[in-house]
Amino acid sequence: MSLTYASKRHVIIDGSYGEGGGQIVRCGLGLAMLTGSIVEFRNIRARRPKPGLQPQHMTAVYAAAAVSNAQVDGAYLGSPNLRFEPGAMKGGTFHFDVEEISGASSAGSAMLVAQTVIVPLAIAGQSAEITLKGGTHVGWSPSADYLKYVYMPALAHIGIHAELDMVQHGYYPRGGGECVMKVHACAEPPKTIEWIDRGPIRSLNVIMTQASGGDNVLKRGTSVAETLLGLSGLNPVIQHVVLSSRGMGMSCTIAAECENGIGGFTQLGRRGIPIEMVVETSWNDFVAWAKTRAAVDPFLADQIALPCSLAPGESVYTTSQASSHLRTLLWLIPKFIPVENSLEQLDETKFIIKTRPAPV
């Protein structure tokens, strides 16, 4: 079932706005696909050390073009400007590889590519199976574990369903990871959410990953996690995921599903940083969020802004920090669809986001 949210528009976006240059492109592509609008991006990532489109952004553009039969101008590495005119959405089987765009070994995030197409495909009533290659555990972007255990469960509450299965890990800086994502067509509009106080923690997952070659490191991490979580009285499910990888790496993700909200916190290991410190840092981030009783973590707050804006009623949720990415999306979304978004600080540790259709 294809759902229409607004008439087509021709939107021109300054990609240097705020700090979310790449995010502006990805979300703008999604909104263009959802509404059938033409979008032009100018001054893409103009304030960054490497301005213009980078490999992961290029892969997101190609992915969006493939699933929407789009006409694209300006799609080349380093491009400061891009024009994207979507056609009809289509599901099916796809394969997107960040390295095919960069032409060299790259840890560009495959997960950001995934987030570009999930919501538009599902909302357009299109199912798809997508193989993604690139970075799965890299800095400054959600890890594969975060997508699987935090982002996708949050989408499910809104009525958008997707799954992710890992084949090979791709750690920074060598990348080379692979996963398979399945997106399911929506049969009805997204649901509203009312997540103000997170409520009791219903489940807690601790996911530790490592390149294949032994799990002694993860056993040490588990010992630390069991000590920290045992003192809290929580009963987590601890998972070890050991897969082949082009380079060495490890990570720890703590994902909490609550009565009215979800939070997730990932730390990546690197040379010279012991697994004990990686786990402890993830735990400290989780505890700091949990104490605020905000419904979602600061990263998820901006990632669900778009699907919440598509629901036919008011959604309300809280977060512990209002990131520049969140502020950027609340600015961007109304340029494509008639929606009213607001952000208000309730106290030092909690912000509330409201989104609802604008009066006609």
**pLDDT per residue as tens, the chain (360 positions):** 445 555 688 999 987 776 567 889 999 999 999 999 999 999 998 888 888 998 888 999 999 999 999 999 999 989 999 999 999 999 999 999 998 876 666 678 999 999 999 999 999 999 999 999 999 999 889 999 999 999 999 999 999 999 999 999 999 888 899 999 999 999 999 999 999 999 999 999 999 999 887 667 888 999 999 988 877 778 889 999 999 998 889 999 999 999 999 999 999 998 888 899 999 999 999 999 999 999 999 999 999 999 999 999 999 999 999 999 999 999 999 999 999 999 999 999 999 999 999 986
Contact of 159 with 188, CB cutoff 8 Å: yes
- State yes or no: is 325 an active-site residue: yes
- Asked if residue 79 belongs to a domain, the reply is no
Which of 317, 251, 252 shows the shortest CA–CA distance to 286? 252
Distance CA 283, CA 253 (A): 9
pLDDT in tens, 66-108: 999 999 999 998 999 999 999 999 999 999 999 887 666 667 8
Say which amino acid occupies 258: C
As a whole number of Å, the CA-based R_g of the chain is 20
Give the predicted TM-score (pTM) of the model: 0.95
- Asked if residue 272 belongs to a domain, the reply is yes
pLDDT at 248: 87
- Asked if residue 223 belongs to a domain, the reply is yes
- Asked if residue 275 belongs to a domain, the reply is yes
pLDDT at 47: 82
β pairing state of 237-243 and 201-211: parallel
- Asked if residue 203 belongs to a domain, the reply is yes
User: In the chain, at which residue ranges do the beta strands (DSSP E only) sit?
Assistant: 10-14, 38-42, 71-73, 82-85, 92-97, 128-134, 162-168, 177-183, 194-195, 201-211, 237-243, 250-258, 261-268, 315-319, 339-347, 350-357
Task: Tokens for 175, please give them.
Answer: 């990348």
- Asked if residue 328 belongs to a domain, the reply is no
Residue 149: DSSP 8-state: I
Q: Report how many domains make up the chain.
A: 1
For residue 251, the enclosing domain spans: 195-292
- Asked if residue 173 belongs to a domain, the reply is no
Which of 315, 312, 350 shows the shortest CA–CA distance to 330? 315
Q: How far is CA 253 from the centre of its chain?
A: 14
- The DSSP-derived string for 229-248 is HHHHT--PEEEEEEE-BSS-
pLDDT at 7: 64
pLDDT at 1: 45
CA distances from 343 to 32, 36, 276, 302 (A): 24, 27, 37, 11
CA distances from 333 to 6, 25, 212, 326, 347 (A): 12, 12, 42, 11, 26
What CATH number is associated with residue 248? Answer: 3.30.360.20
pLDDT at 2: 47
306 CB neighbour count, 10 Å cutoff? 25
Which of 76, 59, 21 shows the shortest CA–CA distance to 43? 21
SS3 state at 141: coil
Distance CA 297, CA 263 (A): 5
- Asked if residue 32 belongs to a domain, the reply is no
Say which amino acid occupies 307: P
